[in-house]
Structure 1
Amino acid sequence: MSRKDKPSGRRARMQANSASPAPQGEAVASSDPAADSAEAQNGEAGRNVEAAPDSEAKPNSEAMPNSEPVPDSEAMQDSEAMPDSEPVPNERVESGGAVNEAAVPDDGPEIASPASAAEEQPAEDAAKSNVSSADPGKAVAEEEAALTAEAAAEEEAAPVAGTAAEEAAAPVAGTAAEEAAAPVAGTAAEERAAKKEKPAAREKAAAKKDTPEGRVELLVRRKRRRQQAGTAAAAVLVLAAAAGVVGGSLAANPGSAGKSVAIPAADVPAGPLTAVCPEPLRLLAGSVAGTDPQFNPVSGSAKTLLSAVVLSGAGNPVPASSLLKADGSTELKTIAEDAPDADPLAGVRSAGIMGSLPVGEVTVLSAEPSGTLQATANAVVAFSAGDGDLAGLAAANCQTPGNDMWIMGARTTVGATAVLRLTNASESAATVDLELYGAKGRVEGTGTRGILVPPGQTKSIVLAGLAANEPALAVRVRSSGGPVAAVVQQSILRGLTPGGVELIQPAAAAAPQQVITGVRIQDPAATRKLTAERGYESAAPAVQVAVPGSTNAVVSVRVLGAGGDIPLPGGGVFTVAAGSVGQLPLDALPEGTYSVEVTADVSVTANTVTSRGSKADAPVDLAVAPAGERLGSDHLAVLPPDSVSDLTFSAPSGPAEVRLTGVAADGSLGAEQIISIAAGTTVTTPAAGVGPGLAAVLINATGEAVYGSQVLTASKGDGLSVLPLPKGSVGGTSVPVGLGY
């Protein structure tokens, strides 16, 4: 009898349930396991073979004539009688001359034509069929060995009946395709019948496990589950490896877990230099209380001159620079043009000079960068008067605006006038808050908060209206919005006798150590005689210390002279209450120029006040020296006219060297001079000794920490003023750049 290889269980069931007539002359495929086993043993799987006699086969099964299709009800009876999960031997049901196979378990979700069933038959079905005709125990052992040798590709190509995935895809009551093909499915009667069938199917499935076929099928299922578990584990490993690769590509240093990763920095080139030059000193008119006072012109002998120097980098032309009005609307003087007349020589530096320009208002020095560095430039405003109430000498460097600064040494006692001038040279409005500290503690009052300074304007505040009768006042200026420049115009009038003038500049920020240089002390005998007169008590030299914090400060003062330490009465140690300003007299020092080192157990700010003049009926000038910052490279000290400049340096902690280079009036640089400074000493050198006819001196310091200042004395009279050295060269900055959301 010619027949096809055994089709899958689903195809057999589809042939039965669909009630399709068998083609004429074609044998009906058998689902008998014994027949299939015989075919597999004969090695003829996958093509038509002559089947062995079947004891249950009917004589007319070899050539089946055309017959009527089996009704759906009979197919349903076959399906209901035999649950999907129970494999049964081959049975034939004759109905209307057609032979239908009994329902066979659903072995897979795929539905194929009977012609291709032989090619897709899995090898596991043949192995299961062999169990029914051989020794069960031996078959099970052979099956276990065969299963372990099968390739994964063959198993995937030939799905195994009974796997967990197929059981989930083929419910006991029938596949989704069969349910869709049966119009009556889903009725209440069938639902009740299905509920009754499910327990029976579960019982048959449990009984099946005890049979040889069940054990083989169980082994197949276990193997498939192990393969699925291995596939899932491999997928997890692949995902973990991919995550490791991605994580490693994002980490800056994969081998340094737990360490902070430095944020890369972007170099920002230096910007143009902007420095605010204060306006000339003037007398107050009318009430001295409040803000925005009216000023009267000073005496006819008074003059205010502005001198500026702009230095180029090595091998670069002098950067474009000019003097502007405070609002930047008008250029008053050009220092250097944008396009120089000739290219500079390699390694050679030159300077643009502007000297002795009379000014009567606030001005701004502006200079473009020189190469990658900010321009080395400075300007000095010098006021001098030989008569009138403002007789004396006062000078100040043009100041780079900031948002936080300290001004020390202001006086608001009787006859003393202190005017705080705030200038906003930016394009944004500035809101300024003031903190005032006096001899008895912090001074609270109205008018110290929210002071608005519009762009390009100057705000003048009389400090006596905020803190009256203060012999030593410390002012902290803090601005939000635009940065501001701050300076205090200080003047003293003792009766009808001028007591001195000064432009007080900001001191170094609060710190446990402060160094003040350029402390000029006159003959102590003359000072004692002067201070014995009524109203001249404040003419005595002193060091002033402000403690801004909430803890009292134990302050130690060390005076450094040309030969080293100078002892002070009481050892120079005193206590300053928190939030107040304390003073220590320096009238016991011999005549000379000194440096003062102030150390404390908390952060403090400091300055010194000195006077020059010995007669009570003659003008006496005033000098305020603020604490300065450590020197570095390219500090430019401009030498104003009608005065004598001395440069003072000190190295409190160790030896150091200072290199001085003169800048001539024609813009050329002279030879370099080296000055050695021993540890704990002060060195003073005249600027004229660096070179004749100089417009400025370029200063560079090496070695241990060096501090310095410029001391000005009037060519005629007792005028005295002290300038802290300006900041050195400023290069570009590095800004951390982080990428994120």
Structure 2
Amino acid sequence: MNRTTLSLIAGATALAAVTGFAALTTPDASGAGAAKAAVQLPVERTTLVCPTPSTSDIADTSYTSFTPVTRGTDGSGKAELRSAAEASDTGTGSSPGAETGKGENKGGAGAKTAGKPVLQPKAPGTPVTGDVSGADAPALVGTAEGRFAPGWTLQETTEVAAGTGRGLLGVNCTAPDTEFWFPGASTAPARSDYLHLTNPDDSAAVVDIDLYGKDGALKSTVADGITVQPHATEPVLLSTLADTPQDDLTVHVRVRSGRVGAAVQALDDQLGGDWLAASADPADSLVLPGIPKDATAVKLIAFTPGDADADLKVRLASPSGLITPAGHETVHVKGGMTTAVDLGDVTRGEAGSLVLTSSSPSVPVIAALRVVRGKSGRQETAFIPATSPVATRATSADNSGKGSSLSLTAPTGTAQVKVTASAGSEGGTATSKTYTVKAGTTQDVAPPVPAGLKGTYALTVERVSGGPLYAARTLASEHEGVPGFTIQTLPDDRGMVSVPEADQDLSVLQR
């Protein structure tokens, strides 16, 4: 994952970092003095990557952009979403001034482009949407600066009426990074899973792909050293990387040089399809929020890197508290091997979230769920990867007045949560509601809707107080009796960054 690096530079401006600029006071010869405590300031630049939505001629795709209003930003800035081929990296990772004290979120691809943007928001607090149809829609790269950067969220939602992977497919456009884990992929005959790699920058990225099945790592000579050209995307059909079909796979993406955005499009001949987003980093405790109450089949896919095995304690955070699913009290995960467990209708008519705890803190795991709704012949699939908690704020960009539901989970301690529905993209007045989520429970709520809503709206989830909070949003729409749905987890938006508050000390030049 990305690492923040501080470098001391002799001169009037002493400290430059990915998160901004500041000057550092060093201790004197006696050892007295120290740098001041860090302050939280809004990020100044955010880059997001949206994968190619579909190869279907009958696909209809919508993009929704939203930035919540953030205190501490000035009135300047802009945001736009363009074809990856049109985006150009300016190389300006930070603002050129020690006095700004502000930072950058998840990299800094700028935008020197030609032509009309797909989206160009006018102001924070109101979503903006754009639509495309057919199989020719490209991968997109978005850049937000200034007041548009903190918490900027992009949602890509596609409806496909028929064919492999038909249904509702949704994904939050992701920040480019250098490592991703995808438990839940497959090379089974009924599946067509594509790993989409998109490079937003001016230099080529070199990527290695590791596949892990039920017996361990799969041998492949074509998965190493894949070059993704600047401002280009590479859809990699996973079945071409393995000699034998695997029902359940874990995909590990490692970037040798550069950075990419990555997501897996999982398409099934019978069960529809959806996007599989990357799992949270390996950890000894995981939460997978937002299992719908009418889920007819739930499969857990887990993997632990390295050679050590892990025994996972499995619990369901239900509306009434933590319960242990009968027959699935624990799951044994062998080191370096993908383990899949069918949990059936684990929710039994009540929405819930899965809570996994490793018996050994030294053995971290990653995990995801494949969720199926509907009956035979009219089924649809979505995925829920393990996610990080909402430390301060998270946002869901694309919501309608009827098809959205919000899952809020507090696995260890009661949490107070404020949910704000933004103004609509074409009109409406923002509104908020506060919820109390008791320890060990999941609340599945119909979120607030803006008064006089026209168009789509965004939901902003803020943890006001209490224990850790996890969230997910389900978007649903039915087509000819098939219950299309897609689930996006809502990790913290990282709209604020810690920046050391410091003073100049020119005496360093004399040492």
TM-score, with normalisation over the residues of structure 2?
0.79
The one-letter code of the counterpart of 1:398 is: C
Q: Partners of 1:690 and 1:680 in 2: how far apart? A: 30
Contact 1:646 1:687 in 2 (8 A): yes
The residue aligned with 2:117 is 332
The residue aligned with 1:592 is 350
Q: 1:270 to 1:255 in 2, by over 3 A?
A: closer
Contact 2:421 2:448 in 1 (8 A): no
**Aligned ranges 1:596-675 → 2 under 5 Å:** 596-600=354-358, 601=360, 602-615=363-376, 618-640=377-399, 644-665=403-424, 670-675=430-435
Whether 1:506 aligns to 2:278 is yes
The residue aligned with 1:366 is 143
The residue aligned with 1:709 is 472
Contact 1:643 1:712 in 2 (8 A): no
Contact 1:318 1:351 in 2 (8 A): no
1:459 Cα deviation after fit: 1.0
* Residue 43 (structure 2) aligned to one of 265, 270, 279: 270
Aligned with 1:603: secondary structure?
coil
* Residue 416 (structure 1) aligned to one of 191, 205, 222: 191
Identical amino acids, percent of aligned pairs? 24
Q: Partners of 1:688 and 1:250 in 2: how far apart? A: 50
Contact 1:299 1:387 in 2 (8 A): no
The one-letter code of the counterpart of 1:278 is: P
Contact 1:637 1:726 in 2 (8 A): no
Contact 1:401 1:483 in 2 (8 A): yes
Q: Partners of 1:518 and 1:607 in 2: how far apart? A: 12
Q: 1:680 to 1:265 in 2, by over 3 A?
A: closer
- Give the number of the structure whose residues are more often helix, by fraction: 1
Contact 2:67 2:153 in 1 (8 A): yes
Whether 1:580 aligns to 2:337 is yes
Q: Partners of 1:396 and 1:305 in 2: how far apart? A: 11
The one-letter code of the counterpart of 2:483 is: D
Q: Partners of 1:595 and 1:650 in 2: how far apart? A: 7
Q: 1:574 to 1:351 in 2, by over 3 A?
A: closer
* Residue 217 (structure 2) aligned to one of 428, 442, 445: 442
1:736 Cα deviation after fit: 11
Q: Partners of 1:299 and 1:428 in 2: how far apart? A: 32
Whether 1:309 aligns to 2:69 is no
**Aligned ranges 1:347-362 → 2 under 5 Å:** 350-358=124-132, 360-362=137-139
- Give the number of the structure whose residues are more often strand, by fraction: 2
* Residue 455 (structure 1) aligned to one of 230, 233, 240: 230
Q: Where does structure 1 lack aligned partners over 5 or more consecutive residues?
A: 1-248, 283-297, 341-349, 528-539
1:312 Cα deviation after fit: 3.5
The residue aligned with 1:696 is 458
Whether 1:685 aligns to 2:457 is no
Whether 1:730 aligns to 2:475 is no
Aligned with 2:152: secondary structure?
strand
1:391 Cα deviation after fit: 1.7
Q: Partners of 1:415 and 1:366 in 2: how far apart? A: 37
The residue aligned with 2:3 is none
Deviations 1:683-715 (A, max 9, x none): 111235565625111110132100111112114
Q: 1:657 to 1:736 in 2, by over 3 A?
A: closer
The structure number with the bigger radius of gyration is: 1
Question: How big is the alpha-carbon RMSD for the aligned residues of Structure 1 and Structure 2?
Answer: 2.9
1:252 Cα deviation after fit: 3.2
The one-letter code of the counterpart of 1:376 is: G
**Aligned ranges 1:110-259 → 2 under 5 Å:** 252=28, 254=30
Aligned with 1:458: secondary structure?
strand
Q: 1:572 to 1:669 in 2, by over 3 A?
A: farther
Contact 2:429 2:451 in 1 (8 A): no
Q: 1:263 to 1:642 in 2, by over 3 A?
A: closer
The residue aligned with 2:10 is none
Q: Partners of 1:651 and 1:554 in 2: how far apart? A: 23
Contact 1:308 1:380 in 2 (8 A): yes
Aligned with 1:464: secondary structure?
helix
Contact 2:174 2:261 in 1 (8 A): yes
1:427 Cα deviation after fit: 1.8
The residue aligned with 1:483 is 259
Equivalences, count: 439
Aligned with 2:331: secondary structure?
strand
Higher relative contact order, structure no. (Cα contacts within 8 Å, ≥ 6 residues apart): 2
Whether 1:568 aligns to 2:340 is no
Contact 1:439 1:472 in 2 (8 A): yes
The residue aligned with 2:314 is 557
